[in-house]
Amino acid sequence: MKAIVLAAGQGARLRPLTDRAHKSLLPVAGSTILGRIMKGLHDLGIAEVIVVTGYRSGDVRRYLEEHDPGLPVRFVHNARYKETNNIVSLAMALDSMEIDSDVVLVECDVLFDPAVLVRLASPERGNIALLDRYRPGMDGTVVSVEAGLVTHVFPAHLQTEDFDYSGKFKTLNIYRFDRDFCRKRLQPLLSCYANVIDSGCYYELVLGMLINMQREVVRAEIVDGSQWAEVDDPNDLAAARFIFEPASRAQILDRAKGGHWNFPLLDFNFIRNMYFPTDAMMAAMRRALPSLVHSYGSAQCVLNEKLSYVLQCAPERVQCLNGAAQIYPQLQSLLRPQRVLLPSPTFGEYERWLGTGADFYTDAVGIDEQALAARAGEYDLVVVVNPNNPTGSVVPTSWLHALAAAHPGTTFLVDESFADFAAQPSLREHLERLALPNVLIVASLSKSLGVPGLRLGYVYSCDTDLIARIGAGIPIWNLGSPAEFLLETVLKFKSELAASFPRTSADRCDFLRALQAVPGIRTVYPSAGNFLLFRLDGDQPGHARWLTENLLARHSIYLKDVSSRFPTPGAYLRAAVRTPAENHRLVDALTLCLAEMPL
């Protein structure tokens, strides 16, 4: 077989990275994109490579001369690379070569594992397209597949607003074309189209015409699960480095703190409701999205009203937040506490904003209610995270209401971000029946509603003056329209939301039992949240970090190391409760990694 590598494009979407380097020469995992392509072609046994150059052609030539790929390379230069598209480059390559064997086509912005190209080594003659199942974030040509054959090709310009991506496949831009197909159909048609009709289109348009008219058969090879990445822009490059530099994955995620849609991983770090929103809600969101992104959200007073319908509380007692984190920087100035009592361990934001000079009560795992009650009156502010993160410990809301009533001179800040999973009523329900002005409830709705990307939260208090002061510091347009639309939509799906919590609790119980059976895990702690805390045997320094890094590098699983949250040494990890199949995938990966953990 022979191969064509298309390397003429400017890589404009990768600027400024491509201002001083050709996109195929960007470094990834100790090599370059082009270097990995050439090695893969060498390993496939390619007899000759035609590299089509254009932008920074000298750089490409020098690189291949200095990094001899071990196979013959011939260059074809597309001098019109600025005003033409890849149809011209491919036509020039085919016009320049003797087509006496099958041809492998690779675009120069694709990284792949060596096993990917092996899919092209089939002894059967015929055309092959390497494909992967379409996922959000992919762009470019997609296809439909039936009975193992590509049936329709949809270049980007055909993917209109109402295009249905379900069941579609993304092309890797890697093909094997049969010799006779290249000579009799593809080369003549490409040459005519590129030189006479439209030099600014993509070769996929011509390929699609042949397939859509059923004039040619292209076999679909699905590389689902294989390692590959298309690098069109800097975000793609970051994702490619995540895939091909596994030792750096933990560092990449620790720095990003989110944005995980760009990375192929199974996320047990961030916590959300896996059974909500429902498919019907997501469909409604998709239908509404064009209107939402062109519309401002409502004023804060309207947001508060809509939220009060969801929470079933008085609107003057609540402020809708752009995520619970919005309130943390205001806590010190709003409450002005001199003496603060915090749980230990707990969510880091409370120590960050209130921890200076604070005292702590121990959650070990389980809170001593009598000891907390005995100390509460000594402080201006007592923080109770209920259930607590990362332990999952919970105290009865009726007891908490009575505690606040017994200490009217103490403000109780109660974080109920995980309360919906605790099988007990919210403290808010008690306060609606018997108001107490010294309680401030903070909650992130993203955990219970399953929408961390929409940034929803709230503060609630019977002290309406405090709520008004909080509102005075909130911008008039505080939520994006999609988040507001979700608040409206939740009202139509309250029964489905209510049903999601016991389903999560059942999954949590099964997950706990499965983790308890893993050799190397000392303790799995009961939890009232939608997460589980567990402790490793040995408690050697660095064991938890070693495990999280190995889970990422070997299995693309992201787990939370919470060892630093505990006042005494120990290897503690927190795992979100995901679907049963995903939970078992983590259990299997833990079993493998812990069996190899150094003593």
CATH class of the domain whose range is 2-236:
alpha beta
Distances (CA, A) of 483 to 4, 64, 289, 453, 454: 47, 51, 11, 9, 5
Domain boundaries, the chain: 2-236, 249-274+497-595, 298-479
Q: What is the DSSP string of 289-355?
A: HHHHHTSPPPPHHHHHHHHHHHHTS-GGGEEEESSGGGTGGGHHHHH--SSEEEEES--HHHHHHH-
| Strand (E) or helix (H) holding 140 | none
305, with CB counted inside 10 A (0-12, 13-18, 19+), is middle
Distance CA(418)–CA(422), nearest Å, equals: 7
Each residue's pLDDT expressed in tens, for the chain with a length of 599 residues: 899 999 998 888 888 888 888 999 998 888 899 999 999 999 888 889 999 999 998 999 999 988 877 889 999 999 888 888 888 888 888 888 888 899 999 999 989 888 888 888 877 778 898 999 888 777 788 888 988 888 888 887 777 877 888 888 998 889 999 988 888 888 888 888 878 788 777 888 888 788 877 677 888 888 876 688 888 888 888 888 888 888 888 888 888 888 888 888 999 999 999 999 999 999 999 899 999 999 999 999 999 999 999 999 999 999 999 999 999 999 989 999 999 999 999 988 898 899 888 999 999 899 999 999 999 999 999 999 999 999 999 999 999 999 999 999 999 999 999 999 999 999 999 999 999 999 999 999 988 999 999 999 999 999 999 999 999 999 988 999 999 999 999 999 999 999 999 999 999 999 999 999 999 999 999 999 999 999 999 888 789 999 999 999 999 999 999 999 998 889 999 999 999 999 999 999 999 999 998 87
H helix count then E strand count, the chain: 22, 26
249-274+497-595 classified as CATH 3.90.1150.10: yes
Distance CA(340)–CA(332), nearest Å, equals: 10
In terms of phi and psi (left: phi > 0; alpha: psi -120 to 50; beta: otherwise), the region of 519 is beta
300, 324, 326, 310: which is closest to 446 by C-alpha?
324
Give long-range contacts, CB 8 A cutoff, 24+ apart: 30-33. 32/63, 33/108, 33/109, 33/110, 33/111, 33/231
Instruction: Report the DSSP pairing between strands 457-461 and 439-444.
Output: antiparallel
330, 318, 309: which is closest to 490 by C-alpha?
309
Distances (CA, A) of 379 to 319, 363, 459: 26, 18, 21
Give domain 298-479's CATH architecture.
Answer: 3-Layer(aba) Sandwich (3.40)
Instruction: Please answer whether residues 477 and 296 qualify as being in contact, where contact means their C-beta atoms are separated by less than 8 angstroms.
Output: yes
